[in-house]
Amino acid sequence: MSRLPISCFIIAQNEADRIVRTIRSVEPWVDEVVVVDSGSTDDTVSVAQGAHARVISQTWLGFGRQKRFAEEQCHHDWVLNLDADEVVSPELRTKITELFRSGEPAREAYGMPIHVVYPQRSKPRIWARDHWCVRLYNRQVVRFRDSHVHDTVVTDGHAVGRLTAPIHHFSIRSFDHMRAKLDRRMSLAAEHASITSPALTLARLTIEFPLNFYKYYIVRRHITGGVMGVRYAALQARFRAAKVYRLWRRHRRPHA
């Protein structure tokens, strides 16, 4: 099979145990894989190179800015973004191949579902329904947001196509790892969040945990994940409630 005119880019740091699986899910059919490493102290660089990725070193710029830097290193305008712990499913590979069968795709950006895979599992839970985001796009038309905290693609009103096949997200080495990862992101998000009124923040604080537990457990269907689904939903709800609590403390002690 001929390779598609797509550059896949991945930002990474200390992902030697996971990044090879990510690269192997795309390397046989995209034209190039670009890994931007931000100072790994493990074997991330060598194992990525061994899996036929082109590796570039770049000091950490922040989530959105690091991905914008990675976009600029790609040889093709059509790019596919993956995190170092994500895998393109065979079904998604088929969908993307069909898009390019007659030349360039009809739209400038395409979103797809991201399905979480629990620790020690090889595939998502039954009836998985997690978040959806844009990962395949023409970088001449849309780009990642120039942000230290957020890493979302700004489509500026362009129509976004939807692909129904998923990316599998192996984001959790363990639930202890998930808790530590969420705590780091909570601190960063709370630091950069805008402060609203104290009354509104207090009102949010009272509903944030139950509302988000419902969102993850019922709406995003972690109810089908058994005990692991309960733990996942509870940790996500705790993360969001803790972020609001940090904001509430900033109201009470604005100069602390």
> For residue range 116-130, what is the model confidence (pLDDT) as tens digits?
999 999 999 988 888
Residues in the chain: 256
Strand positions, DSSP E, 117-163: 132-138, 143-144, 153-154, 160-162
Q: Which two tokens stand for residue 145?
A: 């947001």
Q: pTM, whole model, 2 decimals?
A: 0.85
C-alpha span between 152 and 146 (Å, rounded): 9
Tokens 């061994």 label which residue? Answer: 50
C-alpha span between 29 and 44 (Å, rounded): 22
75-109 pLDDT, tens digit per residue, is 999 999 999 999 999 999 999 999 999 899 999 99
My answer on whether 161 and 187 are in the same domain is no
Q: Could you give the number of structural domains in the chain?
A: 2
Q: Which two tokens stand for residue 62?
A: 């922040």
My answer on whether 148 and 180 are in the same domain is no
**Among the three residues 138, 169, 200, which one is the final residue of a domain in this structure?**
169
**Among the three residues 117, 148, 169, which one is the final residue of a domain in this structure?**
169
11-40 pLDDT, tens digit per residue, is 999 999 999 999 999 999 999 999 999 999
Share of the chain above pLDDT 90, in %: 71
Residue 145 lies in domain = 4-169
C-alpha span between 210 and 185 (Å, rounded): 20
Average pLDDT, the chain: 91
My answer on whether 85 and 40 are in the same domain is yes
pLDDT of residue 188 exceeding 90: no
CATH of the domain at 66: 3.90.550.10
